[in-house]
């Protein structure tokens, strides 16, 4: 699984074909990684997002990267954690599957994911990380177009959690 990489830092700095945004259903920006991506991409990203008519939870939509070093941004909407009885796990699985599928359709060879739903949306970090790693591994097993999939961790706690689960 040497195509999977772990990186600690800011996803907006990465020069990859695509970065994934943990957006909300409006796709019109917000806080956390979404806010950072919109700030770094500039207002053209907001203008393109306005034309997309939002995005349901678990699905994904693609835009250009504008002032970011990345060519594309794949916007996906993670579930808000409400205790685990509202299909939160399935919806998070869908975020990874749909983002990766959209990447393949756009000939993307390198992609970086933030820890979707684990911030403002309160999804338990360990469960979210297991889902993220399992879904990416499954996808890579059936696909050889990706050269690199990077998990980007913004804080030490997230990083050490990914490190532990990746090496388990
Ligand atoms: N680079 C990489 N990861 C980051 C960055 C960054 N620049 N900034 C934050 N993170 P969150 P969610 C991490 O809250 O839980 C927004 O308002 C952060 O530390 O950004 O899916 C949207 O508009 C955490 O580990 O996303 C939605 O309303 C992870 O990214 C809502 O938040 C996800 O945290 C989405 O909530």
Q: Is the CB of 32 under 6 A from ligand 1?
A: yes
What pLDDT, on a 0 to 100 scale, did the predictor assign at position 1?
65
Q: Are 72 and 54 in contact (CB under 8 A)?
A: no
> Against a cut of 0.75, is the pTM above it?
yes
- The DSSP H or E segment spanning 86 is none
What pLDDT, on a 0 to 100 scale, did the predictor assign at position 168?
87
Residues 6 or more apart whose CB falls under 8 angstroms from that of 139 comprise 96, 97, 100, 146
Q: Is the CB of 118 under 6 A from ligand 1?
A: yes
Task: Using the atom order of ligand 1, give the atom closest to the CA of residue 115.
Answer: 29
- pLDDT averaged per 10 residues, the chain (length 168): 94 98 98 98 98 98 98 99 98 98 98 98 98 98 96 98 96
- The residue whose C-alpha atom lies closest to atom 18 belonging to ligand 1 is 119
């Amino acid at each position: 699984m040497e195509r999977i990489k772990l990186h600690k830092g800011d996803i907006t700095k990465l020069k990859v074909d695509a970065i994934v945004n943990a957006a909300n259903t409006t796709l019109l920006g917000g806080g956390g990684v979404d806010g950072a991506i919109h700030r770094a991409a500039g207002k053209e990203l907001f203008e393109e997002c306005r034309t997309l008519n939002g995005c349901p939870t678990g699905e994904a939509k693609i835009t250009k990267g504008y002032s970011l070093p990345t060519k594309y941004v794949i916007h996906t909407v993670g579930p808000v954690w409400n205790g685990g009885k509202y299909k939160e796990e399935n919806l998070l699985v869908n975020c990874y599957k749909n983002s990766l599928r959209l990447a393949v359709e756009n000939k993307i060879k390198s992609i970086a994911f933030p820890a979707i739903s684990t911030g403002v949306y309160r999804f338990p970090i360990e469960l979210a990380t297991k889902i993220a790693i399992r879904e990416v591994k499954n996808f890579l097993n059936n696909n050889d177009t990706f050269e690199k999939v990077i998990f980007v961790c913004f804080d030490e706690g997230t990083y050490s959690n990914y490190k532990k689960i990746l090496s388990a």
